[in-house]
Structure 1
Amino acid sequence: MPVLSGAVTFSRFRAEPAENAPSDTKRWLAKGLKSGAFEPIDLKKTEDERAAGFVELENHDSVDFSTGSVLYGEYALFGFRIDTVKLPAAVLKAELEKWAKAFEKQNGRQPTRGEKAENRASLRHMLRQRAVPSTKVHDVSWNLKTSQVQIWAASRKAVDEILIAIETAFEVKLQPLVPASLAARAGIADDALIPTPELIGVEISNSEIPSSEVTHGEA
């Protein structure tokens, strides 16, 4: 749980509301989180291999989002859960070879390409029912007073996915808090951000300095 303990990589953003600030923060938070709440993969009803959405910070199986589970002082804390189901190709291949040997022994011939394809689909479905989804939860902290949002994820792909989910659920725009973005907000020109020669360790010869700034020693 990186938000409450430990140190990990995170990205910082500033939330800019599309409209006026919500009059009821608690209701606004609950509504937004529930609109993008995590829904587990139903292995029996769908072929989906991935599911993602918001969950409570301290209970990754809960999407109730009660005030006590989300609000911590001036912070809103929650998680973004991503479940994936991956069936290793080697496992499917081994099961298919086992079936092919049993088929040949029973029928006195090797299975045709069509029979193999049909059985591959059946085996994949069976193995998928037994699969256990892998789960990854990224923590999110939102300072409701300063509007600063921190997404605790090292993957750029994960950060982008969570960013879009937050913008969609809460109807806000997240602006990255990086030097270039902060400078633009402050009205600082791009030229002013160029590293100085002293910063990058480049020596300046007298020929590069205006004559009015060159100090000559006494003869």
Structure 2
Amino acid sequence: MPIQRGSVTFVRFHVESGLKEKRALAAGFKKKAFEPIDRGSDQDRSQGWVELENVDSAELTPSTFLFGERVLLSWRVDRLVVPKRLVKTEVDKWKNEFAEREGRPPTRHESRDQKVLVTQDLRGRAFVKTDTHDVSWETPSGELWIWATSTKVIEEIIEALEAMGVVLKPTSPGARVEALDPKLLLPTEALHHLERKES
């Protein structure tokens, strides 16, 4: 299970090198701290570090992410969601009014422009969908776990950690196999004998 919330699935890494000092960690986390979506902008997604115990806070002082020798925090992703069905309903309503007023149906270009206007108008009333993904780092052993399934989210977290100077090495079974010498993965002599007997 995750620390407090998120996926039951995790990705595991070994921290080859990275920040150890509390102040340096706090400064690194604050550089990628979560900031809410600005509804006045074109931005429809926002992501960054938040406290594990309070996902609405991005204060990120050492006392909020250090638990003994563990670093525990969350990666928060907010998405502005404008329901497509609502956009379609509003555009269809406009198309009917346009056809009555102009005596012809709107062109594709006119419909597309109206869809953009409707979407922008509905952004102000849209709701924000929030997801959080726990991250745990056992500093003595160097084990780091990202409790997420989304490749995009995992890549964002890795990028944020690497921007802090943390060097990560994947420790999944697949990553371990990739690190092996390819000669070790070739069929053994015993397997060659089995193939000859079968044919």
Give the TM-score category using the shorter length.
0.7 to 0.9
Q: Which letter does structure 2 place at the counterpart of 1:77?
A: L
Counterpart contact for 2:11–2:172, Cα < 8 Å: no
Instruction: Output the CA distance in 2 between the equivalents of 1:177 and 1:133.
Output: 34
- Unaligned stretches of 5+ in structure 1? 209-219
Q: Which letter does structure 2 place at the counterpart of 1:8?
A: V
| Distance 1:196-1:153 versus aligned 2 partners, 3 A rule | farther
Please, what TM-score do these two structures have when normalized by structure 1?
0.74
Instruction: Output the CA distance in 2 between the equivalents of 1:182 and 1:74.
Output: 26
Counterpart contact for 2:14–2:168, Cα < 8 Å: yes
Instruction: Output the CA distance in 2 between the equivalents of 1:53 and 1:155.
Output: 15
SS of the residue 2:146 aligns to: strand
Instruction: Output the CA distance in 1 between the equivalents of 2:144 and 2:8.
Output: 15
Comparing 149-158 with 174-183, greater Cα deviation is found at 174-183
Tell me, yes or no, if structure 1 residue 54 matches structure 2 residue 49.
yes
The one of 164, 172, 179 aligned to 1:178: 172
Correspondence 1:104-183 to 2 at 5 A: 104-105=99-100, 107=101, 109-110=103-104, 112-113=106-107, 116-168=111-163, 170-179=164-173
Instruction: Output the CA distance in 1 between the equivalents of 2:105 and 2:6.
Output: 55
Structure 2 match to 1:30: 26
SS of the residue 2:123 aligns to: helix
Structure 1 match to 2:61: 66
Could you say which structure has the larger radius of gyration? 1
Q: Which letter does structure 1 place at the counterpart of 2:96?
A: K
Structure 2 match to 1:39: 35
| Distance 1:179-1:124 versus aligned 2 partners, 3 A rule | closer
Structure 1 match to 2:83: 88
| Distance 1:71-1:139 versus aligned 2 partners, 3 A rule | same
| Distance 1:195-1:2 versus aligned 2 partners, 3 A rule | farther
Query: Aligned residue pairs: how many?
Result: 195
Cα offsets for 1:31-73 (capped at 9, x unmatched): 01100011111112x1112111111111111100122220111
Q: Which letter does structure 2 place at the counterpart of 1:153?
A: A
| Distance 1:43-1:197 versus aligned 2 partners, 3 A rule | farther
| Distance 1:191-1:166 versus aligned 2 partners, 3 A rule | same
Please, what TM-score do these two structures have when normalized by structure 2?
0.80
Counterpart contact for 1:100–1:110, Cα < 8 Å: no
Q: Which letter does structure 2 place at the counterpart of 1:39?
A: E
SS of the residue 1:47 aligns to: coil
Q: Which letter does structure 1 place at the counterpart of 2:49?
A: F
Q: Which letter does structure 1 place at the counterpart of 2:44?
A: E
Instruction: Output the CA distance in 2 between the equivalents of 1:30 and 1:80.
Output: 15
Correspondence 1:12-23 to 2 at 5 A: 12-17=12-17, 22=20
- State the shift of 1:86 in Å: 3.5
Comparing 151-160 with 57-66, greater Cα deviation is found at 151-160
Structure 2 match to 1:213: none
